[in-house]
Amino acid sequence: MPDDAPLELIRSLAVIAEPPGEEQGRLTQLLDLGAPPTASEYSDVFLFQLYPYASVHVGSEGMMGGEARDRVAGFWTALGHVPPAEPDHLAALLGLYASLGQREHDVDGAERALVRESRHALLNEHLAPWVFAFLARVQELASGAYAAWASLLYEVLLSEARSFGSDASAPLPLHLRLSDDLPDPRTEGGDAWFSGLLAPVRAGMILTRADLARIAGALDLGLRAGERRYALEHLLAQDPISVLGALAAEARRQGAAHAGRSDWLGPAATFCHDRAMRAAALLEELAEQGATHLRDASEAPVGIGVEEG
């Protein structure tokens, strides 16, 4: 029932996903999330590690915008809204979710059922396919208020998902159905493979800068400063087999986390788990083959294995 949805709580959690200011500080304290986050913490979590946009997580390009954002914008339009500039930002989606909840409260009968179905669709199609994995990773990588925020929001959304119930026969969310698989560098080239590895929906895992730093540290490799792809290229250039192995382990770890959500998240979690496992298998296979094929397969000037020769 709409009365059960903690709409004000969801709104306030949405606001905390915005750059910190006076209101964010006030809300953080109101929700007992600890000391208000600083601008630096915000930048580290949301600008450098984990991007709070649906399109990054469910788009085949793994970047903001593109067809995934268009699909989200289409959802806004279908509800009669003019889509905002960033319709797939987590705060915007949560704001929309809360406004639908409010609307559900304000209307009766068939219209209420329709609005409720819209809210369910928003959760199912545009939030659930990515937000739980995303929030889980925020809990791992952030500290202080943002970790507490992610934990609380995870629980709230989990409760929302459970309130709608699970339908095993429901179709897979459209974003996932339309997403491309992780390419094989041996047949599709290294360039495409790199792009796919950094696209969460294709690799089944969210690979952050912090992950790459951790791998570099563990393998005693140098981490080049730059975007994730640049850093990853240079890690692979230094020790491709070990790096591939570490990436495979990360994929398996995140895949297991997806599997843990399958009882209540259903086919979406299974889908992501399968993607992660396939990515892990591919990475391990490449490592076993000594990564030399990467050099042969890659026509793009990405540098994989170049230094080996």
d(CA 21, CA 36): 9
d(CA 149, CA 32): 9
Choose among 148, 156, 16: nearest CA to 25: 16
Is residue 11 part of the contact set for another protein (CB under 8 A)? yes
Is residue 43 part of the contact set for another protein (CB under 8 A)? no
Question: In this structure, what token pair is assigned to residue 103?
Answer: 């609307």
d(CA 107, CA 100): 11
Q: Enumerate residues 6+ apart whose C-beta is below 8 A from 243.
A: 215, 219, 221, 232, 235, 236
Choose among 181, 182, 193, 175: nearest CA to 293: 193
Site for another protein in 207-236 (CB under 8 A): none
Is residue 27 part of the contact set for another protein (CB under 8 A)? yes
Q: Which of 35, 38, 81, 117 touches another protein (CB under 8 A)?
A: 81
Residue number with CB closer to another protein (132 or 271): 132
Number of neighbouring beta carbons within 10 Å of residue 298: 22
Q: Which range, of 19-27, 57-65, 143-151, 285-293, touches another protein by CB under 8 A?
A: 19-27
Q: Which range, of 91-99, 185-193, 198-206, 271-279, touches another protein by CB under 8 A?
A: 91-99
Q: What single-letter DSSP state applies at residue 123?
A: I
Q: Which of 18, 181, 184, 285 touches another protein (CB under 8 A)?
A: 18
Q: Which of 1, 82, 110, 168 touches another protein (CB under 8 A)?
A: 82
d(CA 153, CA 65): 24
Q: Which range, of 88-96, 193-201, 207-215, 265-273, touches another protein by CB under 8 A?
A: 88-96
Residues found near another protein in the complex (CB under 8 A)? 4, 6-9, 11-12, 14-15, 18, 21-24, 27, 30-32, 77, 81-82, 84-86, 89, 91-92, 94-96, 98-99, 152, 155-156, 159
